[in-house]
């Protein structure tokens, strides 16, 4: 491509240098046909197992599998810890957007100057170095290094280049195989990396160095495999900075058109034809193809924005019944299942029905499926909210009563109409009661009636606070204590538990090997401890008289518990457990339809988009359009940041909004796609070459501009 049009540009530059120093003329003619450059003849690669697939594809696919294992393994470990789930989401989206934007600009530019092969090699080396630094930095004694930035080269266009022009069907299926390798790497990495982190111990703690080291080793292997296939690749020689040429061509066309706005000037067939005074017909024709596709891509970032929202929030929903590590494997697993089903079953069946399922229709269908997934997500969110704490408002607080005495107690609160019936001994409250205050805080009198006696206590209540009133017997007399509770569900699907010590001696409790909880005697109350969902039947209670077994039973997802130590007998601690905040009761099956729809939509949208962007671009512009496709992903990730930080609405309402937005974008994209006519770049180039253009002798000067040297 660098040869094509060079002479034409050289001619024009000479022409411009010989112009009058007093005036500059803008011409209408498309100019003379530029001479054609010669390209080196590409060798034919050996075929894979007698098929039309080049053997070089095997090296590219294995390379992509290893690289994706490396990427998702690293991403799954970042940042370390589980204290800030939304921060993790925002950070990862910002990080991914920066990487994608940097990749689009830098990888495309490098491709233009170095060629795809060298670009992939050089940037993969940077990738490997970043992984090695990350792995070494994860060793505790060396400190954690978190400033590594790496670049993922655009290898999909290089894979498409390996096919001869007559094997378009095989090339189209290659993008499915390419996507299979991506998700296979993601799936295995999702399973293996958490095991390496949590089940393997090194340096006395979770082995993050190994969890980062294995992805680093896979990236080294990816680089080795890619280099090993060097002799088999069809390599397109570097053609200069094509992206810069495209931008300059577009800019010159716009500038030239603005200069020639007179009605006396004949119109041109296309707005890019206004660049013909400076650029060759071939380059202009190629830019036309690129801009047509890029214009079609304008609505697509919204799909990626909502797709990332769906996957992320599905994971956050999923942690109510499963751990996040367990949920994330569903998407790549379904992708691996759907790709062969669609390519070998669904698409041929649709073709047999004489329906022209064009790439644009596939992508629009994918958007519809993703929108339906968001609708189901809204339903699941409403179901999840059934076990949430009530939303607190100003001048209101919540209260419940735990009666730890031996007999029922009647509780009366000043100016409140609550607790009409006596509270039975060790009765688990069904729900919190609402207290209406006369300001931000209010002192209220509590009257307790117990076995014919009446006692009064005064407590100051603050708005938007959750309380538990503990009623107990101390020294033969009735007493009470007001304590603060959790105001919302524990995050990350964890369970919260606190202890009330009803013994006359201090106790030290261990729930597991990491939790050590001291609780004072005579109804002292501990703080909350957050634990993972599990059955805790091997805890320990250490008192002045000895060590006893502590059995808490199941501590479930998202629940909050108050455990009262009532007695010690028979070598074990006797306890009573109250569930203050209900456990999450949404089963994984509720999320399966979401994952089915979003994964099917991804297959139809993403794979088709990759193949479509490759097929609709001329040979010199393959990487430009692939970069344009990746740019839609990057812009979508950026939109996620805006939505996640700016949307003040309830989660279910946000899902409904996303559904409406995606359907609206789908309609816009479908209308644009209806008027888009798919072309064969080679046919279009031949058509451009055959167009008759007036000779330069017929050109007339239309705009005269005074200019200075």
pLDDT tens digits, one per residue of 29-41: 333 344 444 444 4
**Residue 669 CB neighbour total at 10 angstroms:** 22
- Residue 311's pLDDT is 56
> How long a stretch of residues is the chain?
709
- pTM, two decimal places: 0.65
- Residue 683's pLDDT is 60
| Closest alpha carbon to 141 in 212, 210, 214, 203 | 203
Instruction: Write out the H or E segment, with its range, that includes residue 118.
Output: helix 116-137
- Residue 523's pLDDT is 93
- Residue 45's pLDDT is 64
- Residue 126's pLDDT is 58
| Closest alpha carbon to 638 in 304, 396, 339, 378 | 304
**C-alpha atoms less than 13 angstroms from C-alpha of 26 in its C-beta half-sphere:** 19
Alpha helices in 268-400 (DSSP H): 281-296, 300-318, 324-327, 330-341, 347-352, 359-385
Q: Is 260 exposed, middle or buried (0-12, 13-18, 19+ CB in 10 A)?
A: middle
- Residue 37's pLDDT is 43
C-alpha torsion 257→674→358→174, nearest 10: 30
Q: Is 246 exposed, middle or buried (0-12, 13-18, 19+ CB in 10 A)?
A: buried
Distance, CA of 357 to CA of 365 (rounded, Å): 10
DSSP character at residue 563: E
Q: Which tokens in the block code for residue 581?
A: 């905040």
- Residue 399's pLDDT is 94
**Residue 208 CB neighbour total at 10 angstroms:** 22
Distance, CA of 245 to CA of 283 (rounded, Å): 9
Contact 503, 521 (CB under 8 A): yes
**Residue 251 CB neighbour total at 10 angstroms:** 11
- Residue 465's pLDDT is 94
Contact 137, 118 (CB under 8 A): no
Cα 530 from chain centroid (whole Å)? 27
Separation of first and last alpha carbons in the chain: 32
> Is the torsion defined by CA of 449, 450, 453, 456 positive or negative?
negative
Phi-psi sector, 434: left (phi>0), alpha (psi -120 to 50), beta: beta
- Residue 415's pLDDT is 85
**Residue 33 CB neighbour total at 10 angstroms:** 14
Residue 460: strand pairing partners: 443
**Residue 638 CB neighbour total at 10 angstroms:** 19
Name every residue whose Cβ is closer than 8 Å to that of residue 78 and which is 6 or more positions away in sequence. 92, 95, 146
| Closest alpha carbon to 456 in 464, 466, 445, 465 | 445
| Closest alpha carbon to 467 in 455, 484, 491 | 484
Q: What is the pLDDT of residues 459-496, one digit of tens each?
A: 999 999 999 999 998 877 899 999 999 998 888 778 99
- Residue 44's pLDDT is 61
| Closest alpha carbon to 619 in 95, 202, 237, 252 | 237
**C-alpha distance from residue 244 to each of 239, 357, 426, 628 (Å):** 11, 35, 76, 14
Distance, CA of 242 to CA of 115 (rounded, Å): 11
* Burial 578-612, CB ≥16 within 10 A → b, else e: bebbbbbebeeebbeebbbbbbbbbbbbbbbbbbb
Q: Determine what percent of the chain falls in helix, strand and coil, rounding each to the nearest 5.
A: 50, 15, 35
| Closest alpha carbon to 661 in 427, 367, 418 | 367
Query: For each successive 10 residues of the chain (709 residues), what is the average pLDDT?
Result: 38 36 34 41 63 74 74 56 39 47 50 56 58 47 38 59 70 76 78 67 64 75 79 68 82 88 82 88 86 88 77 51 54 87 92 90 93 87 81 91 93 90 91 91 92 89 94 88 92 88 92 83 93 89 88 90 89 89 80 87 89 80 78 78 66 81 91 83 56 40 38
| Closest alpha carbon to 656 in 315, 316, 371 | 371
Name every residue whose Cβ is closer than 8 Å to that of residue 475 and which is 6 or more positions away in sequence. none
Q: Is omega for the bond preceding 79 within 30 degrees of 0, making it cis?
A: yes
């Amino acid at each position: 491509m660098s040869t094509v049009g060079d002479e034409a540009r050289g001619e024009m530059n000479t022409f411009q240098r010989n112009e009058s120093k007093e005036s500059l003329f803008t011409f209408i003619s498309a100019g003379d046909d530029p001479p054609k450059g010669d390209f080196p003849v590409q060798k034919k690669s050996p075929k894979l197992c007698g098929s039309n697939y080049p053997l070089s594809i095997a090296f590219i696919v294995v390379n992509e599998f290893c690289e994706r294992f490396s990427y998702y393994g690293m991403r799954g470990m970042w940042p370390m810890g589980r204290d800030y789930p939304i921060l993790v989401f925002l950070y990862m989206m910002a990080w991914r957007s920066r990487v994608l934007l940097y990749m689009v600009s830098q990888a495309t530019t490098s491709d233009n100057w170095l060629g795809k092969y060298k670009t992939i090699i050089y940037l993969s080396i940077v990738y490997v170095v970043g992984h090695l630094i990350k792995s070494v930095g994860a060793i505790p004694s060396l400190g954690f290094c978190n400033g590594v930035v790496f670049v993922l080269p655009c290898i999909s266009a290089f894979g498409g280049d390996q096919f001869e022009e007559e094997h378009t069907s095989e090339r189209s299926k290659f993008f499915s195989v390419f996507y299979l390798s991506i998700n296979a790497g993601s799936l295995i990495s999702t399973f293996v990396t958490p095991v390496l982190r949590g089940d393997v111990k090194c340096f006395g703690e979770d082995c993050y160095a190994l969890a980062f080291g294995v992805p680093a080793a896979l990236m080294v292997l990816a680089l080795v495999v890619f280099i090993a296939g060097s002799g088999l690749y069809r390599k397109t020689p570097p053609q200069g900075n094509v992206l810069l040429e495209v931008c300059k061509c577009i800019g010159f066309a716009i500038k030239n058109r603005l200069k020639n706005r007179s009605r006396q000037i004949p119109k041109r067939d296309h707005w890019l034809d206004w660049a013909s005074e400076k650029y060759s017909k071939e380059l202009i024709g190629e830019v036309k193809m690129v801009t047509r596709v890029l214009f079609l891509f304008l609505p697509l970032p919204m799909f990626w924005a909502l797709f990332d929202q769906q996957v992320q929030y599905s994971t956050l929903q999923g942690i109510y019944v499963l751990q996040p590590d367990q949920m994330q494997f569903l998407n790549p697993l379904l992708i691996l299942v759907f790709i062969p089903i669609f390519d070998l079953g669904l698409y041929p069946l649709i073709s047999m029905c004489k329906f022209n399922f064009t790439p644009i229709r596939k992508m629009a269908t994918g958007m519809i499926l993703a929108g339906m997934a968001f609708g189901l997500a809204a339903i699941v969110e409403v179901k999840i909210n059934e076990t949430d704490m009530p939303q607190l408002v100003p001048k209101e607080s919540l209260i419940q009563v735990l009666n730890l005495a031996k007999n029922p107690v009647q509780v009366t609160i000043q100016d409140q109409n609550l607790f009409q019936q006596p509270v039975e001994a060790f009765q688990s409250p069904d729900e919190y009661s609402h207290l209406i205050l006369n300001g931000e805080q209010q002192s209220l009198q509590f009257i307790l009636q117990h076995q014919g006696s009446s006692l009064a206590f005064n407590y100051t209540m603050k708005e938007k606070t959750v309380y538990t009133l503990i009623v107990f017997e101390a020294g033969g007399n009735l007493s009470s204590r007001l304590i603060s509770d959790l105001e919302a569900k524990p995050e990350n699907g964890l369970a919260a538990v606190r202890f009330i010590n009803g013994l006359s001696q201090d106790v030290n409790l261990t729930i597991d090997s990491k939790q050590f909880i001291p609780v004072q005697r005579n109804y002292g109350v501990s703080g909350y401890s957050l634990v993972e969902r599990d059955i805790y039947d091997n805890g320990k209670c250490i008192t002045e008289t000895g060590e006893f077994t502590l059995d808490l039973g199941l501590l479930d997802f998202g629940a909050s518990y108050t455990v009262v130590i009532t007695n010690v007998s028979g070598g074990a601690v006797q306890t009573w457990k109250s569930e203050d905040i209900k456990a999450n009761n949404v089963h994984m099956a509720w999320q399966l339809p979401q994952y089915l729809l979003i994964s099917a939509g991804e297959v139809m949208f993403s794979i088709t988009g990759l193949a479509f962007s490759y097929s609709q671009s001329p040979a010199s512009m393959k990487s430009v359009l692939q970069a344009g496709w990746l740019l839609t992903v990057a812009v979508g990730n950026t939109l996620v940041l805006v939505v996640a930080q700016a949307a003040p609405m309830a989660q279910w309402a946000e899902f409904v909004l996303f559904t409406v937005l995606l359907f609206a974008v789908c309609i816009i994209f479908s209308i644009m796609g209806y008027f888009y006519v798919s072309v064969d770049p080679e046919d279009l180039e031949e058509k451009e070459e055959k167009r008759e253009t007036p000779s330069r002798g017929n050109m007339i000067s239309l705009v005269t501009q005074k200019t200075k040297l």
